[in-house]
Amino acid sequence: MHDFLEVEGYWATGRSREQTAEGAANSVVLGVYGPDGAMVGGARIVTDRATFGWLTDVYVLAEHRGLGLGRAVVAAACEHPAVAGIKRLLLKTGDAHELYRSFGFTEPPEPEGWMELRPVPGGT
């Protein structure tokens, strides 16, 4: 996962291998595997399993795109027991908007209410 994120993951620029590993350890990780068993795509869900979830690091390697694997990993994320019953599953993306819309994702109705803290004091 880190090798892809480091090179092609525009949203993960500057993320260290250690940060990727720590993020994976504290998330639900979904993998897409090729016939040889190599990971060719995946996603992470960060959630409290009660009210909120964040879908992130969704990817499929370029040579495996166009086969429905991105759709499959997003479907698996949306149907995962870790998000069953939560009120909101969010994601931020610079592409694939139509894919996410096909699962019911929409722009937040009140985007002006969202705030973020970046960088987090004491964070890396």
pTM here?
A: 0.81
Tokens of 106: 């929409």
Q: Which residues pair with 113 in a beta bridge?
A: none
Q: What is the pLDDT of residues 27-75, one digit of tens each?
A: 999 999 999 999 899 999 999 999 999 999 999 998 999 999 999 999 9
Of the pLDDT bands very low, low, confident and very high (cuts 50, 70, 90), residue 112 is: confident
Q: Which residues pair with 55 in a beta bridge?
A: 45
| Separation of CA 45 from chain center | 6
Q: Where are the domains of the chain?
A: 2-107
Residue 21, CA distances (Å) to 7, 30, 56, 72, 108 in order: 16, 14, 14, 23, 30
CATH pick for 2-107 out of 3.40.50.1240, 3.40.50.300, 3.40.630.30, 1.25.40.10: 3.40.630.30
Residue 40, CA distances (Å) to 21, 58, 69, 96 in order: 17, 11, 9, 18
